């Protein structure tokens, strides 16, 4: 049947009394009952051995007379059997057989009584020897737990570590197989972490719905111990599977992560060689708790390593980004000591990073009062997280030359406090040189355009004025020749006046030119269209 730790604690110690004659059984049964023991009386040696294993007895009282065996052989056979190796063995003999008793003690008997004896003395002797055995078991268990704890604390190879733990646990508890399973958060599936069957089993996924014993532990968060699987109704549906796997006894212990069952310690045997005692259950629970804690610590450590690795990747990326920037990036603490200085800064200022970082004051990079001016601008921008929009400034290089730059600056904050200042310095020398060259080119272009326009305007003026001017000159010559013909001279003067007015109109239009319009001219050339340009 299934038993839990509470039921195990309330069970009375079981003593198997072996007396071939059966004479002592009745009165010793009553004495042991009063002493707090449950007594099982047997008359045959094989029967006694069977009852010890089937009932999970903790002690055996043997009357060798009538069994046909030497006391030393009886003790030796019990110690050789794993199921009875820890049994408390007390022999009852006559005083004349003290030599036989001595050999039995050498073979491993815990105690003996010489007849006649007070019946109550047997209860006292058994209690004392059981306490000694319990203390000894506890010491061995503590040593085993300490050994397991050291393993859990000393190795980060979880696969190897957990395999060692299950192997050691199986050895200590005397079971055929031991495994550990990690249960998913939804409780539907579990993963085999380690098993005594071999490391290759690790990683196998199992459907929890096929394991009612695991479901029971998840539901109750308590150990589930079954000495005979065929007697437990909760396992009825999987008995054929258990039989196929050679499992006649099993025990599961929860691995608790706070209130959740994160895994189970799973013990299985063809049949438990002995019923799991209180100390066995305590040991298994302790192992499960230690593994749960170790797995939690390993998970925390894994996350810490992942965070550290991510931090390192981010740090390396930012450092590479800063170093590869064509602009200078400089940072200083609140005392003005430079704490960051990249390759771009080396190109602008001329100092090497090792000459600057932690050694130079930021004021050395500015003309007198320049650094204080920038800091004052940053303080005025305190409401905007000390962010300074791009401004035009001058800095000083190693040779004392002024370098025009564009500065973007900001404050470095930590927990709401200003701890440093930083800035990006964009070298404007090349840009200003290009701007100067562009300005000069624009001036040349404008001059060329003006010269071309003047030439075109001159051509247009010559073209427009040439005809009336030629007419004026011709008629003036004609008037001179006909000065003795007044009427003809008057007509000629009217023509000259008209042509002169025409020239005056052309001059006025030239003065009103506001746009550049051209028209075709002789030889495919173009000249200014004075009429359209002056509209």
pLDDT digits (tens, 9 = 90+) for 83-141: 788 889 999 999 999 999 999 999 999 999 998 888 889 889 999 988 887 766 666 66
Domain identity same for 73 and 196: no
Beta bridge pairs of residue 393: 405
How far is residue 121's CA from residue 104's CA, in Å, rounded to a whole number?
20
Does residue 147 lie within any of the structural domains? no
**What digits encode the pLDDT tens for the residues 17-56?**
999 888 788 788 888 989 999 999 999 999 999 999 888 8
- pLDDT of 522 reads 66
Would the pLDDT of 1 be above 50? no
**Can you tell me whether residue 295 is helix, strand or coil?**
helix
Residue 7 clears pLDDT 50, i.e. is over it? no
Pairing of strands 59-63, 111-114: unpaired
The CATH number of residue 95's host domain is 3.40.50.2300
Regarding whether 445 and 421 lie in a shared domain, the answer is no
Instruction: Answer yes or no: do 281 and 195 share one domain.
Output: yes
- Residues ≥6 apart with Cβ < 8 Å to 420: 331, 332, 333, 334, 339, 411, 412
421 shares its domain with 451: no
Overall number of domains in the chain? 4
Instruction: Please say if the pLDDT value at position 524 is more than 70.
Output: no
Domain that holds residue 287: 155-301
Say yes or no: 489 and 407 in one domain. no
pLDDT bracket for residue 455 (50, 70, 90): low
**Final residue before a domain boundary, out of 427, 461, 489:** 427
Q: What is the rounded average pLDDT of the residues 374-391?
A: 84
pLDDT at 74: 93
Residue 318 placed within a domain: no
Query: What share of the chain has pLDDT > 90, as a percent?
Result: 39
Instruction: State yes or no: pLDDT of 344 exceeds 90.
Output: yes
Q: In which band, very low, low, confident or very high, does the pLDDT at 480 lie, cut at 50, 70 and 90? A: confident
Question: What is the DSSP annotation of 380-402?
Answer: HTGGGTTEEEEEEEEEE-TTS-E
Write down the mean pLDDT value for the chain. Answer: 84
Q: Are residues 132 and 178 in the same domain?
A: no
Q: Which of 396, 427, 458 is the last residue of a domain?
A: 427
Of 341 and 68, which is predicted with more confidence?
Answer: 341
What's the pLDDT score for residue 143? 63
**In this predicted model, what pLDDT tens digit does every residue of 388-423 receive, in sequence order?**
889 999 999 999 999 999 999 999 988 888 899 999
* Within-domain flag for 307: no
**Predicted pLDDT of residue 5:** 40
Report the C-alpha gap between 362 and 341 in whole angstroms. Answer: 11
Q: Do 504 and 375 share a domain, yes or no?
A: no
pLDDT tens per residue across span 320-329? 998 889 999 9
Verify that 283 and 182 share a domain, yes or no. yes
The answer on 163 and 292 residing in a single domain is: yes
User: Tokens 């004609």 label which residue?
Assistant: 478
For residue 73, which of 89, 58, 96, 86 has the smallest C-alpha distance? 89
**3-class SS of residue 275:** coil
Is 209 part of any domain?
Answer: yes
Give me the mean pLDDT over the 223-239 stretch: 93
Q: How far apart are CA 330 and CA 1, in angstroms?
A: 76
Q: From CA 18, how far away is CA 52, in angstroms rounded?
A: 11
State the SS3 of 301-369. Answer: HHHHHHHHHHHHHHHHHHHHHHHHCCCEEEEEECCCEEEEECHHHHHHHCCCHHHHCCCCEHHHHCCCC
Instruction: Of 374, 409, 411, 405, give the one whose Cα is nearest residue 389.
Output: 409
Q: Could you tell me if residue 500 is inside a domain?
A: yes
Output the domain CATH number for residue 192.
Answer: 3.30.450.40
Grade residue 62 by pLDDT with cuts at 50, 70 and 90. very high
Q: What is the mean pLDDT of residues 429-438?
A: 86
**C-alpha dihedral sign at 229, 235, 239, 243:** negative
Query: Residue 5: what are its φ and ψ, rounded to 5°?
Result: -60, -35
Q: CA-to-CA distance for 330 and 370, rounded, in angstroms?
A: 15
Output 4-11 pairs: Cβ under 8 A, ≥24 positions apart: 4/222, 4/223, 4/224, 4/225, 5/222, 5/223, 5/278, 5/281, 5/282, 5/285, 8/225, 8/276, 8/277, 8/278, 8/281, 9/278
Q: Is 112 inside a domain boundary?
A: yes
- H helix or E strand, kind and range, residue 194: strand 189-195
Token pair in block for residue 209: 């719905």
Per the DSSP assignment, residues forming a β-bridge with 328 are 425
Segment 471-489 mean pLDDT: 79
CATH number of the domain residue 346 falls in:
3.30.450.20
Any idea how long the chain is? 535
Q: Do residues 416 and 385 touch, judged by C-beta distance below 8 A?
A: no
The candidate with the shortest Cα–Cα distance to 425, out of 338, 383, 365, is: 365
pLDDT tens for 263-280 read 999 999 988 776 787 778
pLDDT at 8: 46
Looking at residue 486, its pLDDT comes to 80
Closest CA to 262 of 299, 235, 227, 225: 299
3-state DSSP of 418-455: EEEEEEEEEECHHHHHHHHHHHHHHHHHHHHHHHHHHH
Average the pLDDT over 217-246 and give the result. 92
Mean pLDDT value of segment 68-73: 92
Domain end among 140, 170, 190: 140
Instruction: Tell me: do 178 and 297 sit in the same domain.
Output: yes
183 belongs to a structural domain: yes
pLDDT at res. 4? 43
pLDDT classification of 504: cutoffs 50, 70, 90 = confident
Return the pLDDT at 149. Answer: 64
Q: Any idea what the CATH number is for the domain that residue 490 is in?
A: 1.10.287
Report pLDDT for 232: 93
pLDDT at 442: 85
Residue 146 lies in a domain: no
Tokens of 4: 């839990």
- Mean per-residue pLDDT, 192-218: 89
Residues 193 and 250 in one domain: yes
Name the more confident of 251 and 297.
Answer: 251
The Cα–Cα gap between 342 and 321 comes to 10
341 in the same domain as 219: no
């Amino acid at each position: 049947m299934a038993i839990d730790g509470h039921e195990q604690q309330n069970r009375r110690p079981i003593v198997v009394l072996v007396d071939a004659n059966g004479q002592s059984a009745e009165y010793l049964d009553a004495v042991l009952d009063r002493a707090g023991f449950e007594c099982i009386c047997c008359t045959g040696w094989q029967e006694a051995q069977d009852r010890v294993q089937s009932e999970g007895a903790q002690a055996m009282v043997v009357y060798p007379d009538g069994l046909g065996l030497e006391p030393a052989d009886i003790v030796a056979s019990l110690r050789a059997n794993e199921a009875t190796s820890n049994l408390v063995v007390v022999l009852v003999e006559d005083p004349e057989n003290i030599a036989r008793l001595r050999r039995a003690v050498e073979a491993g008997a815990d105690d003996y009584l010489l007849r006649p004896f007070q019946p109550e003395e047997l209860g006292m002797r058994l209690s004392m020897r059981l306490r000694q055995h319990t203390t000894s078991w506890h010491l061995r268990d503590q040593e085993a737990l300490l050994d397991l704890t050291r393993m859990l604390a000393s190795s980060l190879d979880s696969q190897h570590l957990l395999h060692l733990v299950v192997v050691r646990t199986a050895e200590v508890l005397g079971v055929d197989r031991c495994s550990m399973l990690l249960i998913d958060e939804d409780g539907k599936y579990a993963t085999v972490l380690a098993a005594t069957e071999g490391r290759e089993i690790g990683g196998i996924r199992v459907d929890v719905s096929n394991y009612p014993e695991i479901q029971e532990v998840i539901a109750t968060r308590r150990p589930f111990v079954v000495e005979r699987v065929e007697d437990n109704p909760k396992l009825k549906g999987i008995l054929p599977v258990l039989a196929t796997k050679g499992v006649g006894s099993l025990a599961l212990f929860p691995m608790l992560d706070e209130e959740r069952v994160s895994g189970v310690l799973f013990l299985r045997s063809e049949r438990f060689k002995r019923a799991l005692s209180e100390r066995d259950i305590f040991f298994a629970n302790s192992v499960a708790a230690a593994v749960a804690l170790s797995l939690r610590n390993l998970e925390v450590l894994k996350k810490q390593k992942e965070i550290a690795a991510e931090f390192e990747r981010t740090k390396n990326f930012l450092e590479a980004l800063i170093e590869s920037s064509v602009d200078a990036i400089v940072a200083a603490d609140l005392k003005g000591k430079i704490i960051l200085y990249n390759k771009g800064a080396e190109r602008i200022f001329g100092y090497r990073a090792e000459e600057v970082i932690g050694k130079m004051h930021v004021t050395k990079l500015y003309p007198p009062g320049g650094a204080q001016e920038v800091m004052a601008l940053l303080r005025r921008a305190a409401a905007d997280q000390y962010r300074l929009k791009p401004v035009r400034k001058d800095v000083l290089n190693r040779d004392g030359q002024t370098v025009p730059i564009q500065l973007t600056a900001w404050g470095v904050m930590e927990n709401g406090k200003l701890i440093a200042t930083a800035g990006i310095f964009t070298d404007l020398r090349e840009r200003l040189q290009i701007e100067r060259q562009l300005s000069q080119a624009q001036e040349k272009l404008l001059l060329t355009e003006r010269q071309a326009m003047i030439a075109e305007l001159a051509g247009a003026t010559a073209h427009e004025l040439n005809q009336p001017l030629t007419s004026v000159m011709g008629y003036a010559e004609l008037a001179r020749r006909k000065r003795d013909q007044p009427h003809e001279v008057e007509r000629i003067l009217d023509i000259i006046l008209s042509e002169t007015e025409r020239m005056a109109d052309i001059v006025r239009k030239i003065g009103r030119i506001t746009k550049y319009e051209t028209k075709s001219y002789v030889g495919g050339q173009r000249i200014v269209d004075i009429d359209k340009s002056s509209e």
